[in-house]
Structure 1
């Protein structure tokens, strides 16, 4: 669905957004019910199925069941369970756990492995996020800078994005976090990086999937829930996993770099 997202119409994207946030709906709902939930017509639903290269809606359901049987089980996210807890704390923690589990249940291991391997081998790496996504990119930068030299945050206080983007080329990788609400400048930055041959890993929710065609890898992290504020848990979890796998791939070199940092901390009496 991610690969086809950029070619979908606005109405078709309403269905895609619904399924990306709650993929189990394919198994639980009929085509008509799903169209109603997405606030689109049945004919739009039919065109959506065709856009995904399926002949019928039942074929999409079979594909979902097959994926579940091949080690990528879909959690019953969003499904009403009997005896729902009425306590707000219990309900909140349950929903938060579902949000965290969603990207990991549907995560393409090859995507993370290949992106992490490239982050280790690249000449330099960068982390880019704007508005509320800047927090996520800062967090990821903080993880990688502990074991990997040549790590840059795009951009810091008093700096322009252009000052950083000009230094990246085909030998580099940039991790871009695009979580709602994305700003128009982010699209321009991705275009500049992609045109320069930079490998891009996009961490996205449904609002930024229109950028996926310019990225080499894309991972979707739903953040919506029934509460007022978006959840950060799934994005932070995926970024932490990415850093953990990359650290493993650095081997002794990464550990030696970490030891060097600690040695400098001692000499400078910083901590």
Structure 2
């Protein structure tokens, strides 16, 4: 039995509204009634709410051309006990992956060459961190499971869907019985109910995750299927997953970066092709012959 390992869950803010934007919502709700001294600070928070997570009350006052007293009054007016509580709300929104809270005032070099190198460096760091964190034994077990499972089901939502689709597209070229979910206009219960102990579910669940991620993984576990969960480093632990691989997705910009996730999936796919050997090559050859037969490609 493969030992299930998962990253620790992120902290949860008591003031979280359920949409992970408690700070911004509180500012918008009070904005019309704010005095001028507090409105300057509110304007800054609304433009760059994530900065609250990084700076002290004094630094926020200086950056917004306000005062410490105005910051204190505003924070209490918004419903927070103190500034640290507001910082935790902003930090939780960053952890969840809200692009608004990941925006920074300045983060890139101004010249084009510098911006290009900055972009490359961030992707390179994420790829390095992700791949170096892989356990060789777990990786070999995952590749073996992909090659030997009776059925492989890849699943993802939102941005995670195209990552799941990429992995599906690679695996399906060297083995049969590989499917991608969810299908447009279709429900999931029918497909998940068919999973069994000889099957493998590969779930890609990058932030911002939909509730179905955890529910589908738990359902597949009850069906006794093996489960590979590919996620980001902010994910809470899912004990139902057989293997969990966290990917580095953060950078300085408001949008997460998926270069490391794609590199990981490519790394897995190449190992699967090698493991499948001659049967995999024959399967790929039959696909290429069909491309010619039905005139799909030039």
The normalised TM-score by structure 1 is: 0.69
1:177 aligns with 2:200: no
Instruction: Map 1:57-68 onto structure 2 (within 5 A).
Output: none
Quote the Cα distance in structure 1 between the aligned partners of 2:143 and 2:212. 26
Look up the SS of the partner of 1:87 in the other structure.
Answer: helix
- Cα displacement string for residues 134-178 of structure 1 (whole angstroms, at most 9, x for unaligned residues): 111111111111111000101222221112112211110011111
Confirm or deny: 8 A CA contact 2:6 2:244 kept in the other structure. no
Q: What residue number does 2:186 align with?
A: 159
Q: What residue number does 2:233 align with?
A: 206
Q: What residue number does 2:8 align with?
A: 5
Quote the Cα distance in structure 1 between the aligned partners of 2:162 and 2:142. 21
Q: What residue number does 1:240 align with?
A: 266
- Structure 1 residue 206: Cα displacement: 2.5
Quote the Cα distance in structure 1 between the aligned partners of 2:113 and 2:273. 42
How big is the alpha-carbon RMSD for the aligned residues of Structure 1 and Structure 2? Answer: 2.4
Q: Using CA pairs below 8 Å that are at least 6 residues apart, which structure has the higher relative contact order?
A: 2
Instruction: Map 1:118-157 onto structure 2 (within 5 A).
Output: 118-157=145-184
Equivalenced residues, count: 201
2:140 to 113, 122, 127: 113
Look up the SS of the partner of 1:200 in the other structure.
Answer: strand
Structure whose CA Rg is larger:
2
Confirm or deny: 8 A CA contact 2:229 2:241 kept in the other structure. yes
Confirm or deny: 8 A CA contact 2:197 2:224 kept in the other structure. yes
- Structure 1 residue 228: Cα displacement: 2.1
Quote the Cα distance in structure 1 between the aligned partners of 2:195 and 2:265. 21
Look up the SS of the partner of 2:257 in the other structure.
Answer: coil
Could you tell which deviates more after superposition, 202-211 or 222-231?
202-211
Quote the Cα distance in structure 2 between the aligned partners of 1:112 and 1:99. 18
Change (3 A) 1:4 1:157: closer
Change (3 A) 1:123 1:160: same
- Cα displacement string for residues 72-95 of structure 1 (whole angstroms, at most 9, x for unaligned residues): xxxxxxxxxxxxx98211111111
Confirm or deny: 8 A CA contact 1:181 1:207 kept in the other structure. no
Look up the SS of the partner of 2:194 in the other structure.
Answer: coil
Structure 2 residue ranges without an equivalent (≥5)? 14-52, 57-83, 85-111
Q: What residue number does 2:88 align with?
A: none
Structure 1 residue ranges without an equivalent (≥5)? 12-35, 41-84
